[in-house]
Chain A
């Protein structure tokens, strides 16, 4: 690649390697403990720890949902219970032959997955709130518990199911099996959350809207995640049903669901290791202490939990990581710079400027909120290569128009089509798929990610993200690379976004939108609050994008000087109506525009 930019310093990749070694060392230690544990632990401890490790497996699923993706869920207990009951019911009512054990295993995972899909569909739809998902996650365990209670002899009702024969492993065997499953799951989860694909979860937690406007179907991702983790919870249920030889309604209940959340919170959400250690520690201690001081122990855990949520929302692990980064000199991820690579432009045929069918066609658009008409009789066509500025006083309907263009579910009259396709009813991520990128008025980026990770998110709908690792290269379309270079962001790829300045965030968002390779860019006041130099840079970039690369852009802008310098056409909106649509000269010299801006335009 001739135009490959080598901007990162490749020698400084130490922190990542240290972390990988640390993970391997942890995993090996855990495996050794799991294998040799039965030789030095007494029966009681073996029993309790087996249970604790199964619970820890569940805590990982809670952490992935809540800590990483931001979905507070009490529902993992339900999936766990369904898995446990599915296997226990097969084993008690049908039999315990090897084939049936295999069947019970399959059911213990399949049934929760199907239920997970159903719950996911119910919880996540376009416009659903996080609170609603939490509500559903409360209802599910309650419903399952009641079904178990009303199941008669099939589910053993309130006394549960006992006395069935499952996997013939014995105490030590179950300890090792559970431990093995836990280590495998923990390692897989650690690898996944650090991979490029795993960052999608954090992006969804940080800024769902931006994800959607980067073309990601966040609801679908959430539903799939719920289903997969329901399957993992089902596996934990299978282990539990076999190891303990008893399943009871409490295993499916909402109270157990809240306990899982408590353990995850105390261990440290968003760290995988924290919830695992937290769960094992608390469950093991409570089994040991609850005999002597049963209520006091619960009281202690409860108080600790409240204090933790208020003062230390990231749990005990947060202290540990803070100490680690001070000790290891890991000043943020600043050293973890990937190499910036420009994508080959050859396959990208730039359409001849201003020719062909219109890219965007707005016909007779009318938008009203109740009796308040915000937009009326708007007809505009925009072709490739045009840079159209949308101007007008406050309240003219500019931002509303932008919203109608990027979200097909806005209730409008008239027709909006992109490259000939009607967008009515399409959710934002589908419209992004048609080649429309939107930059918001207030920079909308992902605060917990680094610059490089944000940009990679923009490519996630186009290039399949890496599921196993963090890529060392960041491949972006040439214009995006150019924006980064011009604004100096190319030297800050490993920087946390929360540390960027306002102008840098604006530039980053623009680069993210451009990285989508859109054919039409919607920009809502991209220069608001920027310095003169930053403005000029953005102006240059926009002219390059439209003039040289044949993109179309619609720009909402108040700075008329800026508009005059860069636009190829200006559309004037006033009180929801299109007043003027013409070349820069026509508009600038128009009497109407002067009247509107001098405040005399109220007819």
Chain B
């Protein structure tokens, strides 16, 4: 039971952080509007449910909406700030406020409910466990493998890696770094919105839901650097710690475990898990 909790918690953390990591890894920009994109995704699920469509349709819709908005954001807000990373944090945070308020104006500030994507429980090794949490585990694996394929197996991934390693050189070799950045940002934000849909069965949907997830995701990405493998490890280790603290000490302290442990890890080893 505990092991399943740890695995599924880590999976959820991974899903939530992956989009942020994609952007931080390539662009070295911390997208503080990450929470807003999670919220956008969740509200896509609300819209789909409102139209009476199949809830699974929310996934592609969120990816498209999130990606499109991400493209606009990259062009108008993030692009002028690549040389001022601390200001980029602030500008994206400001954008997060704007998005949050727009959603509030449109949908009201009340908590929305969405139909579950999957309900019920299954028996795993004799314990009945939430089917959806297990599905989340699978989704995390799919996202992780998808990124591995994208990075290793496609041209975009290869150029993105080149940009990560040495941007000046990549530019010199004729890679259009601007395009790589735009593509990365679009994929990162699309994925984040998708993660927002996946979160809907696990949390309540309201305009400020993203902020709660932002910090955890942010800390995990800081520890992971720019590697998805490191992110997976970080999610397992810190997600595990969170579950253990929540179970045996106090759920409230469990909530801050990830942030505190990440900060300490970074203090001791500034590169975090990136070397792994």
Contact = CB atoms under 8 A, between A and B. Distances in A.
A129 B85 CA distance: 12
A72 interface: yes
A566 B113 CA distance: 81
Interface string B237-262: 00000000000001011011001101
A128 B252 contact: no
Nearest to B103: A295
B263 interface: yes
A492 B109 CA distance: 59
Contact of B105 (A127, A295, A305): A295
A296 B98 CA distance: 9
B53 interface: no
Contacts, number: 102
B104 interface: yes
A174 interface: no
A302 B84 CA distance: 19
Contact of B98 (A72, A146, A299): A299
A304 to B, nearest CB: 8
Given A306-B98, A310-B77, A130 B222 contact: no
Interface in A75-134: 122, 125, 127-132, 134
Interface string A236-280: 000000000000000000110010011001000000000000000
Contact of B87 (A258, A296, A309): A309
Contacts of A185: none
B150 interface: no
A254 B215 contact: yes
B164 interface: no
Nearest to B106: A295
Interface of B is mostly: helix
Interface stretch (B9-17, B89-97, B135-143, B226-234): B89-97
A135 interface: yes
B61 to A, nearest CB: 24
Contacts of B222: 131, 135
B105 A136 contact: no
Contacts of A528: none
A262 B91 CA distance: 10
A165 interface: no
Interface residues of B, number: 40
Given A128-B270, A309-B87, A313-B84, A299 B252 contact: no
Contacts of B98: 299, 302-303, 306
A306 B77 contact: yes
A181 interface: no
A145 to B, nearest CB: 9
Nearest to B98: A302
A129 B77 contact: no
A142 B214 CA distance: 12
A468 B237 CA distance: 51
Contact of A136 (B30, B80, B215, B263): B263
A72 B256 contact: no
B101 interface: yes
A583 to B, nearest CB: 42
B134 interface: no
A290 to B, nearest CB: 12
Contacts of B131: none
B211 interface: yes
User: Which of under 10, 10 to 19, 20 to 34, or 35 or more describes the interface residues of A?
Assistant: 35 or more
Given A258-B93, A302-B98, A309-B91, A142 B259 contact: yes
A150 to B, nearest CB: 4
Given A134-B86, A305-B97, A306-B77, A142 B256 contact: yes
A302 B94 contact: yes
For B84, B87, B101, the residue with the greatest tally of chain A CB atoms inside 10 Å of its CB is B101
B275 interface: no
Contact of A309 (B94, B219, B259, B270): B94
B42 to A, nearest CB: 18
A301 interface: yes
A467 interface: no
A295 B104 contact: yes
Interface in A313-364: 313
A139 B222 CA distance: 12
A356 B61 CA distance: 80
A298 interface: yes
A154 interface: no
Contact of B211 (A134, A255, A262, A313): A255
Contact of B270 (A127, A302, A305, A313): A127
Contact of A313 (B77, B87, B102, B109): B87
A135 B219 contact: yes
Contacts of B132: none
The 9 closest A-B pairs by CB, nearest first: A302-B97, A305-B94, A306-B94, A299-B101, A302-B98, A309-B91, A150-B252, A146-B256, A139-B259
Given A130-B86, A296-B101, 4 more contacts: A125-B267, A131-B85, A298-B100, A301-B97
18 contacts: A72-B90, A122-B267, A130-B86, A131-B222, A139-B215, A142-B259, A143-B259, A150-B250, A302-B95, A302-B98, A303-B98, A305-B94, A305-B97, A306-B91, A309-B81, A309-B90, A310-B77, A310-B81
